[in-house]
Amino acid sequence: MVALSITVSDEADRHALNDRIRARGHFDAVIDFDALTRDPARPDNMLPAYDSGDHLHPGPPGYKAMGESIPLSLFR
């Protein structure tokens, strides 16, 4: 597997986009997978337990946590 490199500007763009998505008034609901999978000790990184190994995509435990975090009330 090849590790992808994310530049500082890419990371800044990702943060800006996430901040815009999280802002109130844009969407009826937001499921914040970034916040769920983020490493609190290193906020620009995914928790190692959820990382697939490429430091970009979650592995099975990450996808499981993401799926379990979705409030089913959104579908009622």
Query: pLDDT tens, 23-65?
Result: 888 888 889 999 999 999 998 899 999 999 999 899 999 999 9
Q: Is residue 26 part of a domain?
A: yes
Q: In which domain, by residue range, is 29 found?
A: 8-75
Question: Average pLDDT in the 7-19 region?
Answer: 78
Q: For position 12, what pLDDT does the model report?
A: 83
Residue 43 host element (H or E):
strand 42-46
The total number of structural domains that make up the chain: 1
Is there a contact between 47 and 38 (Cβ–Cβ < 8 Å)?
yes
Map residue 58 onto helix, strand or coil: strand
Q: Is residue 55 part of a domain?
A: yes
Question: Average pLDDT in the 1-22 region?
Answer: 71
Question: Average pLDDT in the 16-29 region?
Answer: 85
